């Protein structure tokens, strides 16, 4: 099921709700777009027509070797984003993915980045 008929501002609300439900996450603007962090390391970058590319999407890390497979399997949903695509991140077209699949991708992105993020020490 896709969400093509949703208004653009609803897509960020979907992403925000799912991302901020995960432990140790926060949101702040980075490069002019909402970006989500786990302990100060980004794991989701929202892209609303970045440089007029036509995508309302998120950019997320993919497991090693998964980027090309995901894009080949569903090119209408996944794409290689600028800047972070060379590091294996994948773009996800938000109008082409349902909430269940989106939640799974966001959890997986968090799981990839969270172990790399330093744990804050309590004082």
Domain ranges of the chain: 8-116
Q: Does residue 12 carry a pLDDT above 60?
A: yes
Give every CB contact of residue 48 below 8 A, 6+ residues apart in sequence. 8, 12, 33, 56
pLDDT tens digits for range 92-110: 999 999 999 999 999 999 9
Q: Does residue 8 carry a pLDDT above 60?
A: no
Q: What is the mean pLDDT of residues 40-69?
A: 92
Contact between 19 and 44 (Cβ < 8 Å): yes
Token pair of 75 as six digits: 């090119």
**Residue 61: per-residue pLDDT:** 98
* pTM for the whole structure: 0.86
Assigned CATH class of 8-116:
alpha beta
29: β partners: 34
């Amino acid at each position: 099921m896709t969400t093509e008929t949703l208004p653009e501002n609803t897509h960020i609300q979907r992403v925000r709700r799912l991302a901020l439900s995960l432990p140790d996450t926060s949101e702040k603007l980075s490069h002019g777009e909402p970006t989500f962090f786990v302990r100060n390391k980004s794991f989701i970058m929202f892209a609303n027509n970045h440089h007029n590319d036509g995508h309302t999407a998120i950019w997320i890390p993919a497991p090693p070797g998964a980027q090309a497979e995901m894009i080949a399997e569903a090119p209408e949903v996944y794409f290689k984003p600028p800047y972070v695509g060379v590091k294996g991140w994948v773009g996800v077209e938000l109008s082409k993915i349902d909430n269940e699949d989106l939640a799974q991708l966001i959890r997986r992105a968090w799981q990839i980045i969270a172990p790399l993020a330093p744990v804050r020490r309590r004082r």
